[in-house]
Amino acid sequence: MASRDARFWKEVINDEMNFIMSNGTWKIVDLHPVSRITSIRMLFALASIYNLYVHQMDVKTAFLNGDLTEEVYMEQPEGFILLGNEHKVCRLVKSLYGLKQVSKQWHKKFDDVILANGFKHNGAFQEIDFMPLR
C-alpha cells in the first residue's frame, strides 16, 4: 500500500469486497478449531524441500456463486475486520476463491440451474472406462 498506485489497488479491493459482502459469501461467527497454520506451513516447507511449485488461481466472480455443503471458516480479511467482532471469524456460506471444492460446487449449481430450465445432458458423451496398459 506504499506504492504510488495504492489508491487504484484499494479501489479494486473495495469493489471486490463489496461484491463478496453483497453476495452473502460469509457470516461472522466464533471459530471452532478445525485446522492449524502449522499444517499449511508444513505443506509450503515440503514444496520447498522437494523443489515443487505452488500455484494459486484467481477467477473473477463466477466461482463465488457455488453453495457450500461443508462448514468452512476463515479469518476476517485484513482491513475489513468488523469493529466489536475482532476475535471472530467468517463462516463461509458460499464458495470463495482458494477452496478446493469451489469448482465442484459452482459446476453443480450451474448444472442444477441449467437442468431446472429445461435443458438436458448431451447423450452423445458417455463415461469411458480405461483399460490398464500391459
Q: What is the mean pLDDT of residues 90-117?
A: 80
Note whether residue 79 is domain-resident: yes
Q: Does a structural domain hold residue 123?
A: no
Residue 13 located in a structural domain: no
Q: Tell me if 64 is assigned to some domain.
A: yes
Indicate whether 46 belongs to any domain: yes
Report the pLDDT averaged over residues 33-53. Answer: 81
Going by C-alpha positions, the residue among 57, 52, 44 that lies closest to residue 99 is 57
Grid cell, residue 111, equals: 448444472
How many folded domains does the chain comprise? 1
Domain-located, residue 109: yes
Residue 29 lies in domain: 25-116
Please report whether residue 92 resides in a domain. Answer: yes
pLDDT at 9 over 90: no
Report pLDDT digits (tens) over 64-100. 667 777 888 888 989 889 899 999 999 888 777 777 7
Domain membership flag for residue 90? yes
Question: Can you tell me the distance from the alpha carbon of 76 to that of 90, in angstroms, rounded to the nearest whole number?
Answer: 6
Cell of 2: 506504499
Nearest Cα to Cα of residue 79 among 7, 22, 17: 17
- What pTM, to 2 d.p., does this model score? 0.43
